[in-house]
Chains A and B, each alone.
Chain A
Amino acid sequence: DSGVTQTPKHLITATGQRVTLRCSPRSGDLSVYWYQQSLDQGLQFLIQYYNGEERAKGNILERFSAQQFPDLHSELNLSSLELGDSALYFCASSGQGEYNEQFFGPGTRLTVL
């Protein structure tokens, strides 16, 4: 158990809809990262937040947005969903450890029908 929690575990929705994925980082971690992993694909970095502020952006679509709240949990909002958005979405957090490594949550599997 990495200490990072993600909800929901599975999500099935239709094209055009909007969903929100939630992530709670490890206790004390200020950084939260979001990644997308499509079937048999590598991990694509989407966005990073640090203590409530956006720190870095990766390959995140304009239809996607995220935020980190004062209690440090984060939400990833996906709107106008398309079939190609079906993927595993991982959240990770990092703190001030020796290696500054990222700890990944179990992921949310999104299926768009």
Chain B
Amino acid sequence: LAKTTQPISMDSYEGQEVNITCSHNNIATNDYITWYQQFPSQGPRFIIQGYKTKVTNEVASLFIPADRKSSTLSLPRVSLSDTAVYYCLLGPPNNFNKFYFGSGTKLNVKP
């Protein structure tokens, strides 16, 4: 089961761009990279998913280099409400049968 490594915590200020990097040296060819956000006492929520290069949606961007051994979640102009834990996961999208969430990155956005 391919595992990921993320920073335990990060601090930022409102209005800044935040980049959270996830390392996954043993990523498999058919693995996609998926990011989830979790607020305290709530279930995680899907943010974004990608396979290679760059993916962007209304919430975030995901940058994946050519070797795919890492990925970076970019949150533009964060606000206090973006304070949450962010998880990076690997897996084939047609068979996410064992999700390894790990400990995630706790993002603290300050005013």
Contact = CB atoms under 8 A, between A and B. Distances in A.
Contacts of B96: 94, 100, 102
B34 A99 contact: yes
A2 B43 contact: yes
Contacts of B44: 43, 90, 102, 104
A49 B19 CA distance: 35
Interface residues of B, number: 22
Contacts, number: 60
A56 B97 contact: yes
Contacts of B97: 48, 55-56
A38 to B, nearest CB: 12
A92 B43 contact: yes
A95 to B, nearest CB: 12
A55 to B, nearest CB: 5
A105 interface: yes
B104 A104 contact: no
B98 A58 contact: yes
Interface of B: 32, 34, 38, 41-46, 49, 87, 93-94, 96-104
